[in-house]
């Protein structure tokens, strides 16, 4: 039960990083690397058959690419909403 809440907190922190990028605030490099690293680790559960973990891999790649390139805002809004929804549901 505690693990689910911790993983939900990771989703909420990653959604916060995406929302900071959407609204033009530059999050710390360490925060982006931390969130994307945890999303990559969570995404490894995709190989066990969890479909939502594939989305974690996708979000981690987008978060890492946002360090190098300017990503269009639609590609930042979609992961932020989905990660926010996953994070909120894990606390219910």
Residues 19-71: tens digit of each pLDDT: 999 998 888 999 999 999 999 988 887 677 777 788 889 999 999 999 999 88
| C-alpha separations of 66 from 15, 26, 37 in Å | 14, 11, 14
pLDDT of residue 52: 77
pLDDT of residue 80: 93
Position 9 pLDDT exceeds 80: yes
Cβ contacts of 58 within 8 Å, gap of 6 or more: 43, 79
Structural domain harbouring 40: 2-90
Position 14 pLDDT exceeds 80: yes
Number of domains observed in the structure of the chain: 1
pLDDT of residue 43: 85
pTM exceeding the 0.85 threshold for the entire prediction: yes
Which pair of structure tokens corresponds to residue 36? 């994307």
* Rounded Cα distance, 81 and 31, in Å: 19
């Amino acid at each position: 039960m505690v693990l689910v809440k911790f993983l939900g907190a990771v989703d909420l922190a990653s959604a916060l990083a995406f929302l900071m990028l959407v609204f033009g605030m530059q999050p710390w490099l360490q925060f982006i690397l931390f969130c994307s690293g945890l999303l990559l680790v969570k995404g490894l559960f995709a190989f066990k058959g969890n479909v939502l973990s594939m989305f974690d891999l996708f979000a981690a790649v987008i978060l890492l690419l946002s360090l190098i390139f300017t990503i269009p805002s639609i590609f930042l809004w979609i992961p932020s909403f989905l990660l926010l929804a996953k994070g909120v549901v894990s606390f219910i």
